[in-house]
Every structure is written in structure tokens, then in C-alpha cells.
Amino acid sequence: MLRKIQTLNHIYQTGLMAIVRVEAERRAIEIAEGCLNGGVDVMEISFTNNSAGETIRFLKKTYRNRLLVGAGTVLDSETARYAILCGADFVIAPNISEKVAETCNRYQVPYAPGCTSYTEAIRALEIGASLVKAFPISNFYGPKLGKIFTTPVPEMPILVSGGVSFDNLSEWIDSGVCAVGVGGLLTQGSQNEITQNATRLSEILITSRNESKSDTSEGQELNQ
């Protein structure tokens, strides 16, 4: 249980997750180094690639506790168990699967299923999801999605996947989401370019969170 709590806390504290699709270990290292140098120490390795399990195992062996590595695009319980055996710290999917939820909960690994409606989001929480992955609707609705989803259930833990940019990251954070998944900005270009992008995203996230805390404190003082 402690492992699951620590992983979720780590994801929230970092707030940014690199969504990675690679087959070569050398490129995985370049992306990991770029992200780490820029303050992003959470990566999702997508199982759209056949070598995803080996990549997860390689990254965990190389970086150990310096890097949180999860499995993405996990569609079934067999893949979930394999990913966990390879060292995956968390499991993410574009769909909801009770069998995957059972496997992840059995081994105390956070599970974030993709949800396209509010009904699916509630269902995800009911089967024990640790995070609700807003996918692919985050691309269509943008940052306003966060407040829409959290109005009926304020404590809904939302992971955004897609549609995040330098220009709208602060809006996403203000909307109350727990973390955001970023693809191209954290996976394309040279190692130095990835570091620059990761640094800029981290700075925006920290500033936005500090401003949100300040606004909340001021609102509480006015209500007293």
C-alpha cells in the first residue's frame, strides 16, 4: 500500500509526465536524460511498441529511484502483469478494464484508465482507478474540462493526456488536474532541446501551482 501512495505522490509532485514511444535504448536514454535535467522524472512507455517491456526494465535498472517509469496503452490484464514484472511503477490505458484494475490493485500499482465521458470517469473510480485519464477528450475540450469534471466530484484525480502546450499548461493546472502527460515537447528533438522544454514546462507548472495556492488562501481569509 505504501508503494502505491508513494508513486501517486511522486506523480502529483512532479505534475508532468513524458509520454514516450521508442524502440531503441539509446533514444530512451536521451529522452530520460533530457527530462531529468529539466525537472521531469516521470515517464510513460507506451505498449504500442513491442519492446516496451524491455525498455521499462532497462530504464528502471539504469535509473532506479531517480526515474518513475510506467506502462502506457495497457489494454488487458496480461499486459498489465507483464509490465509490472518488468518494473512498471504505474499503468495507464486508453480504455477502462476491470481485469486490469484488479491486477493493478492486487499488486498495489496505480491504474489510470482512459475516460471519454463523466459516466466512464465515475465508473473508473468505482473499480479502483487511482487516476482518471482524460483521453482523448482533453484534445477536444481543452483546459475547461478540468473544472467541468471536478465540479460534481471535487476530489476526482485527473490525469490529462494530450492537448497540453506552453500556452495552456497554466490553465490546465488552474482547472484542478493532478498531472499532465506531454508527448512531443518531451520526446522529440535533441537531448538539450528536451531539457529546455522540460525546464520551461516545470517552471510554468510551479508558478501556476503557487498562484493557485495564493488565490485559495486569499479566498479563505475573505470568508472568515
**Structure confidence at residue 205 (pLDDT):** 97
Note whether 51 and 23 are within 8 A (CB): yes
Mean pLDDT of 59-70: 97
Q: Does domain 2-223 have CATH number 1.25.40.10?
A: no
Q: If residue 43 lies in a helix (H) or strand (E), which one and from where to where?
A: strand 42-46
Overall residue count recorded for the chain in this entry: 224
Domain ranges in the chain?
Answer: 2-223
Using alpha carbons only, how large is the chain's radius of gyration in Å?
A: 17
**3-class secondary structure, 181:** strand
- The CB density around residue 202, as the number of other CB atoms within 10 Å, is 18
Pairing of strands 158-161, 179-182: parallel
Please determine, for residue 194, whether its predicted confidence score (pLDDT) is greater than 50. Answer: yes
For residues 139 and 133, what is the distance between their CA atoms, to the nearest angstrom? 12
- Given a cut of 60, whether residue 222 has pLDDT beyond it is no
Grade residue 1 by pLDDT with cuts at 50, 70 and 90: low
- Does position 179 have pLDDT exceeding 90, yes or no? yes
The 3-state DSSP class for residue 160 equals strand
pLDDT tens for each residue of 76-128: 999 999 999 999 999 999 999 999 999 999 999 999 999 999 999 999 999 99
